[in-house]
Chains A and B, each alone.
Chain A
């Protein structure tokens, strides 16, 4: 079992729809959870981070965390073609800077 798992996609959604990206992790000691966006040929860019169970909203983005189910998700409302990218879920254990990444989900938003 991989430490952080994501569906590789591609996930295709029409412009204006909600895109739902999911991630599961295996280490119950994980404390911090991150979503990075990576455009082709570019470096990862932080979108959201979440530490506590529940939802965290930032503009069109909502991160959801359920530690009991070891599950974290990212919702993108009103998806735009510019949101087309690979979304990387990353998990960090307590008091370490070691990020464990999933392989990413490729999102395609079509007009």
Chain B
């Protein structure tokens, strides 16, 4: 069974640009959550989607947004990139809310 797939694996952008990251959950999983990991802050929750609806949102500015499609695939978008957005962005999927989460390999974003 394929795991959680995140694309792209690496991204380099400049300040002010926007970026879209993609996550394909494990087959049959309907819940997708996104996290940001930085050396200083550790792993921080961004948002959670279930059945195309955002169920929870973390304490991030409105520049961070996401969505989920009918096939459970999810995308997150960051607009007007700042240097501090450089991080590893991790997606995790689970069967449903409250179930165990499995992480993808992540997308490493560098903002120059």
**Chain A: residues with CB nearer than 8 A to chain B?**
32, 34, 36, 42-46, 49, 88, 90, 92, 94-104
Contacts and interface: CB of A to CB of B under 8 A. Distances in A.
Nearest to B46: A98
Contacts of A103: 42
Contacts of B106: 43
Contacts of B50: 97
Contacts, number: 60
Interface stretch (B62-70, B74-82, B92-100): B92-100
Contacts of B42: 101-104
Interface residues of B, number: 26
Contact of B90 (A32, A43, A98): A43
B28 interface: no
Please classify the interface of chain B as helix (H, G, I), strand (E, B), loop, or mixed, using the class held by over half of its residues.
Answer: strand
Interface in B82-112: 88, 90, 92, 94, 97-106
B100 A43 contact: no
Contacts of A43: 88, 90, 103-106
B58 A98 contact: yes
B55 interface: yes
A96 B90 contact: no
